[in-house]
Amino acid sequence: MKSLTLSSPLDMHLHLRAGSLCETASAVAGTQFAGAVVMPNLVPAIETLPAMDAYAQKITAAAGTAFRPLMTLFLNTQSASDIEEAKANPHFFAMKLYPAGVTTNSENGISNFDAIVPALEAMQALDVPLLIHGESNGFVLEREAEFLPVYRQLAKAFPRLKIVMEHISDARTLALLDEFENLYATVTLHHLLFTLDDLAGGKLNPHLFCKPIVKLPRDREAIRAAVFGGNAKIMFGSDSAPHPRSNKESAAALGGCFTGPVLLPALADLFDRHGALDKLQAFVSDNARRIYHLDVPQKNLTLVNEPSDVPAAFDLPSGEQVIPLFAGTRLPWRIV
């Protein structure tokens, strides 16, 4: 029987939301990961250190102390001294940039990039990473490609700033990784697994609807080749994002896949089927630890090639449900 022990797996892009969704999603993350980068696009967004500290405490209460939340602030009007103050906070990890209006709760994101230059200069000086949801407001399949000139411009203007292209989904994005030393990327489970065919090729499945949208077969193949080939600048970031079922099975479904409950078993299965199990440790931990010089709790997780059942739903105290990826099905790997 095949097995695999992962040392301190990390999820470098995670949405934990608020309220009882946060309790459920944090507990799920704590069972699998040694830490995770927590996204700040709540309502209101996490923009100040007191709000960030309170959020970190709420997460730790649900996920346990063996899980380190790597907290982010929503980049908006922060000054250079705000960045300096953040850098001194032990929960703080990075700034997250949302262009205005491109995803859930990003209405107050950035539309004037000149206004954030002082913050970016401070971040570069203090080695604070810049995480970016890189999409334009254009046609849904072209948004990431249309954003590439912005990545390019930022990478040139701030050559010592670590810039992370989050949840990359388009084959055209990969070339930039090689071109600029200071550009990095995260890749989700669902962009490794799915194309637009899975979302909308048979029946329409709102639980696979996310931003950026899952794309063409050639995009998935290019991203798989980079990840399974062991590209050292690509880190795992699930972008797992729980929404109540009523917000997904709806006439106006919100973006976000709740992949959290199945991440490590599904990754083990996928990497195994592609003969890349030996690349999983670097993808889910070593690359991030090296890129960021991260100090995270030591936590070993062993996976075995034995079936595990995915719950059909997670019940929230509100009476609502959250539907995970692969709900009600059986995966060929499980966590011991």
Scanning 29-37, 73-81, 172-180, 194-202 for contacts with its own copies by CB under 8 A, the matching segment is 194-202
Separation of alpha carbons 20 and 265, rounded Å: 25
Integer angstrom CA distances of residue 167 from 4, 144, 155, 198, 229: 25, 10, 18, 18, 18
Out of 117, 157, 204, 225, the only residue in the binding site for its own copies (CB under 8 A) is 204
Scanning 106-114, 134-142, 181-189, 259-267 for contacts with its own copies by CB under 8 A, the matching segment is 134-142
Does 201 participate in binding its own copies (rule CB under 8 A)? yes
Phi, psi torsion values for 136, nearest 5 degrees = -85, 180
3-state secondary structure (DSSP) of residue 272: helix
Does 251 participate in binding its own copies (rule CB under 8 A)? yes
Evaluate whether 290 touches 309 at the Cβ level (below 8 Å).
Answer: no
Q: Least Å distance between CB 198 and its own copies?
A: 9
Smaller CB separation from its own copies, 127 or 249: 249
Out of 75, 323, 326, 333, the only residue in the binding site for its own copies (CB under 8 A) is 323
Output the CA torsion sign for 202, 242, 222, 144. Answer: positive
Out of 133, 243, 248, 289, the only residue in the binding site for its own copies (CB under 8 A) is 248
Does 310 participate in binding its own copies (rule CB under 8 A)? no
Evaluate whether 168 touches 175 at the Cβ level (below 8 Å).
Answer: no
Does 50 participate in binding its own copies (rule CB under 8 A)? no
Does 139 participate in binding its own copies (rule CB under 8 A)? yes
Check if 127 is active-site.
no
Q: Is the peptide bond before 118 cis (omega within 30 degrees of 0)?
A: no
Which amino acid makes up residue 299?
A: K
Phi, psi torsion values for 86, nearest 5 degrees = -60, -45
H/E segment holding residue 326: none
Of these residues, 239, 278, 286, 295, which one is catalytic? 239
Out of 27, 148, 216, 331, the only residue in the binding site for its own copies (CB under 8 A) is 216
Q: Least Å distance between CB 325 and its own copies?
A: 12
- Residues lying near its own copies in the complex (CB under 8 A): 139-141, 195-197, 199-201, 203-207, 209, 213, 216-217, 248-255, 323
Catalytic residue ranges? 239
